[in-house]
Structure 1
């Protein structure tokens, strides 16, 4: 059971806003679950616990500790107003809290502001002549994705990414699942192997109903600062029609 929709289908209700599921070894990143999976599990739990929420507009994710095997997701409604709702979802396992997410859901409102200067995708979607890669066996979760490499100036990565096994996912859940799929941009600076770990991740959705064609999303990450073991990177996601779907920022640690 490695397809994300199968993992979500296997989640069972533990009562009191808690949901339990087992993370397959195929989704691990070292000794912990791939961050995009953890965030997707948290969001899916929220959508099941509070099905009448408006669209997701922002997600703040803190990677507190490792997650593997059986985990439990606890959903807490922090505040719900007329226009927006703030919801917390904690994902914990045998070693304690692993991931804490704060999701902001907000309905569209009438506004005098209508401004969009986001750039279109800087490269075309995959075509018949492109080589599609399937990740590295040594990093289990990467085999859950198909990728097509694109060039990028500066320090970072740019790849078209899609889930190998797609379908049956809420659009925002799929977006979170692929949003953290690229290596930290600071890896391009390393002169020797060194462990890296994501610390925090923030995603702002620019479209209340993100979608794409044939499962492909263009994910880009770049950094202009890495010092003292701490890095900061800016990230973005476009759909296959060239429209930017999300803007992101992530902090990561380099142990070496």
Structure 2
């Protein structure tokens, strides 16, 4: 099932008040791809926003905790509007399977307001053209299953488990299947599609997974119509690693070099 098909089914299930469905083909190890799990939960948050607040208020930040592995099958989502003020609204959501919460989220929305402070983000890195860059290969049994839905071109850092000394990883990424204009859910998948930036530093194969993840979405990203099948630029850096955990920060730019999202993750590393 392609990403847009997953989103369409999720919206239908939410409207019908049915459990969400995690399809096969989107796993990473025994868990579901975090970007897909986040997107499904955000779709439930977006419906709550439309029903109780205002669908036009921009998302500013989405904080997620991956409490337990989400597996293929039914996913029950519960959503609560914590507060809806004149400028800011906050919505909490939880996804569970059986009696276990698997993902928790807090979405913060904020209307634009006049301000004397304006800081422009740094320009997008100057990458070689995608066709001139090394592709991230799919290796059965080693590469996560969900990566078959994306194209990758590496421009910074090394391949996972290559023992690279450089604590960063980046390049180009896009959906393989057509998506149309990229929604917030598409952006969540795109910025999470790359392997954790700590993996190229390992010399042997070992699992890693997200523990906590915060994404900030630029308002301009919600006003533009870049498509998910265009090439997007991505760069992640390892801020700190030790004791089996790593802290990484990442940025995502559209094909025109506009910053669209910032990401910060705490990653568990089993090596």
Q: Deviations over 1:125-172 (max 9, x none)?
A: 745555655744432100011112212493121021111223256621
Question: Is 1:93 aligned to residue 97 of structure 2?
Answer: yes
Q: 1:181 to 1:9 in 2, by over 3 A?
A: same
Which residue does the alignment assign to 1:215?
230
The counterpart of 2:248, out of the listed 233, 238, 241, is 233
- Which stretch shifts more, 131-140 or 4-13? 131-140
Total equivalences in the alignment: 253
Give the number of the structure whose residues are more often helix, by fraction. Answer: 2
TM-score (norm 2): 0.84
1:66 paired to 2:80 = no
Please provide the CA RMSD for this pair: 2.3
1:197 corresponds to: 209
Query: Contact 1:71/1:93 (CA < 8 Å) preserved in 2?
Result: yes
8 Å Cα contact 1:134-1:144 kept in structure 2: no
Alpha-carbon contact 1:25-1:140 (below 8 Å) kept: no
Q: Is the 8 A contact 1:121 1:238 kept in 2?
A: yes
Q: Is the 8 A contact 2:172 2:233 kept in 1?
A: yes
1:43, distance to aligned residue in structure 2 (A): 1.0
CA contact (8 A) 2:62 2:105 kept: yes
**1:20 match:** 19
Structure 2 unpaired stretches of 5+:
158-164
What's 2:147 paired with?
142
- For residues 74 and 125 of structure 1, the distance between their equivalents in structure 2, rounded to whole angstroms, comes to 44
Summarize the Cα distance change of 1:19–1:100 in structure 2 as closer, same or farther, 3 Å threshold. farther
Q: TM-score, normalised by structure 1?
A: 0.89
Q: Quote the residue 1:10 is aligned against.
A: 9
Measured after TM superposition, the shift of residue 8 of structure 1 is: 2.1
Q: Deviations over 1:105-130 (max 9, x none)?
A: 111111121221x2221134745555
Alpha-carbon distance between aligned partners in 2 of 1:167 and 1:6, rounded to the nearest angstrom = 10
Asked if 1:248 corresponds to 2:263, the answer is: yes
Q: CA deviation at 1:21?
A: 2.2
Q: 1:125 to 1:202 in 2, by over 3 A?
A: farther
Aligned to 2:160: none
**Separation of aligned partners in 1, 2:104 and 2:146:** 20
Larger CA deviation: 225-234 vs 210-219? 210-219
User: Which of the pair is proportionally richer in strand?
Assistant: 1
